[in-house]
Structure 1
Amino acid sequence: MGLISNRVERSEIKPGDHIYTYRAVFTYSHHGIFVGGSKVVHFTPRNANSSTEASSNSYEEIYNLPSSCPTFPDCGFRQPESGVVLTCLDCFLKNGSLYCFEYGVTPSVFLAKVRGGTCTTAPSDPPETVIHRAMYLLQNGFGNYDVFQNNCEDFAMYCKTGVLIVDTAGVGRSGQASSVIGAPLAALISSPLKLLMPSPIGVATVTAGMYCMSRYATDIGVRSDVIKVAVEDLAVNLGWGPGGEEEVVDDGVSEQQIAR
């Protein structure tokens, strides 16, 4: 992967990799965990409120949920009322390009990649741990989808690191969300500098620098408000379900779904 783009070929990804693809002419990216066997586990909003065929089709198109897949019969599998879904790689990409999220990058590399949602300074756990988390959450869910606090990138980053944000009222792990918030904030803070810096280039440079630093400050690799949580204890920490307890599933079922 290069400094400008994290684009990779299918032959380069390995089970346990955090992959993503861009949607709506690079407006946003959709993230998931490649679990092997041409299968991807990813997180989407639950389709509980779709009451019409049109809205259902729109939901499937936006969030990469196949209405039918000629290759894998179990493509699109998910538990009732859960947003975590298992699809094949083709249905995940929807003809888009394939990118691989980077972990354990240096601060200089992180700051050089201006667009958020491509890398983190946090290290990744071993692939077998990552896959276990993804398959466990496929059976038990990942709570309610939230664009800024609990989205597809947050899901993939939790699977890779096991890290949660302590302050649930703040911004989640997502680099995309940090970028959306950081850009306007940087512009707002740097606007008074226009009175002191007559050069537009100087103002733009300062604004870009503030934007990059705001992204870096929210990266899970440097934040102090994060904790490591085992996937089996995730429901208790986030208060999901009655009594905060979730059912532990048999790993054998997960392995069969990957192998199909």
Structure 2
Amino acid sequence: MVGVLSNKIQKDELKPGDHIYSWRHSYIYAHHGIYVGNGTVIHFTRGPGQEIGTGTVLDRFIFSSSPSDPSKPPCPICGDQSKSDGVISSCLECFLYGGELYLFQYSVSPAMFLAKARGGTCTLAPSDPPEDVLHRAEYLLQNGFGAYNIFKNNCEDLAIYCKTGLIVFTNISVGRSGQLASYLAAASAVVSSPLRFLTTGFAGLTAVGCGIYCISRIVSDIGVRRDVMKIPVERLVTHSRSDKSEAATETPNED
């Protein structure tokens, strides 16, 4: 049974339309995807060595969440996916990449949400029916999900969109990713709170920091934030293609 401390499940418990994830590199980062049945997962990857893609030294420190390692023989089911990127389909074993299997939870209570101290494991937002989830995932597999961006368009964002149909429509905030929101909330609790000057005791400082962390996480959740809208997947893909076309038109040619 999925508990407060762990969302780990067994493979035989999986159902088509489930949002699953697997932790990478000593729980530094989790890779997310949608289980579509028959041992297959649709997920979003930047490619070998670029899964995080922060543009910093972290890109060299944190290795790829790509489903295949170039040094290993190709998977007999998936083939060679070492150079694959974008929205791809992999067998469950390639997706897990040797890690454990976890189930992302939807429609959790605020208390349960805050009890999960690590972001990227649950959301207050409800999930749509499995048939809608599978339709979005299959459509994006064929048509893409735009350019990978760790801050606004990563693997967790793809999975959450497939489950909810919700898209962040502002350009000033991060995407739907709960794990990224938790990192930013932690940073805010450490360096950005003026309230830290109102207490001198360690216990008081800890309480203030925890409070800021919890508030930052919950207001960033896709289930409560207001800068989101529900968009059909066909419209999402059309809009993305339109943006790319406009960008290409506006880019001057170089002689």
Q: TM-score, normalised by structure 1?
A: 0.81
Q: Matches of 1:29 and 1:167 in 2, distance apart?
A: 25
Q: Matches of 1:124 and 1:158 in 2, distance apart?
A: 10
Confirm or deny that 1:32 pairs with 2:33.
yes
The change in CA–CA distance for 1:89 and 1:240 in structure 2 (over 3 A counts) is farther
Q: Matches of 2:9 and 2:82 in 1, distance apart?
A: 26
Aligned length: 232
Q: Matches of 1:75 and 1:122 in 2, distance apart?
A: 36
Query: 1:28-177, aligned counterparts within 5 Å?
Result: 28-46=29-47, 62-65=65-68, 68-70=74-76, 72-73=77-78, 76=81, 83-177=86-180
Aligned-residue CA RMSD in angstroms? 2.6
2:57 aligned residue: none
Runs (4+) off by over 6 Å: none
Q: What do residues 132-156 of structure 1 show as CA deviations (whole Å, max 9, x unaligned)?
A: 1111111100000000100000000
Q: Matches of 1:131 and 1:121 in 2, distance apart?
A: 21
CA contact (8 A) 1:77 1:87 kept: no
Structure 2 counterpart of 1:69, one-letter code: C
Q: Matches of 2:203 and 2:232 in 1, distance apart?
A: 47
Q: Matches of 1:234 and 1:97 in 2, distance apart?
A: 32
Structure 1 residue ranges without an equivalent (≥5): 50-57, 245-260
2:250 aligned residue: none
2:14 aligned residue: 13
Structure 2 residue ranges without an equivalent (≥5): 51-60, 248-255
Match of 2:217 among 211, 215, 218: 215
Deviation at 1:195, TM superposition (A): 4.1
Structure 2 counterpart of 1:158, one-letter code: Y
Q: Matches of 1:218 and 1:27 in 2, distance apart?
A: 20
CA contact (8 A) 2:120 2:178 kept: yes
Query: 1:218-237, aligned counterparts within 5 Å?
Result: 218-237=220-239
Deviation at 1:45, TM superposition (A): 1.1
Identity %: 48
Name the SS for the 1:86 alignment partner.
strand
The change in CA–CA distance for 1:146 and 1:73 in structure 2 (over 3 A counts) is closer
Q: TM-score, normalised by structure 2?
A: 0.83
Confirm or deny that 1:203 pairs with 2:209.
no
Structure 1 counterpart of 2:234, one-letter code: E
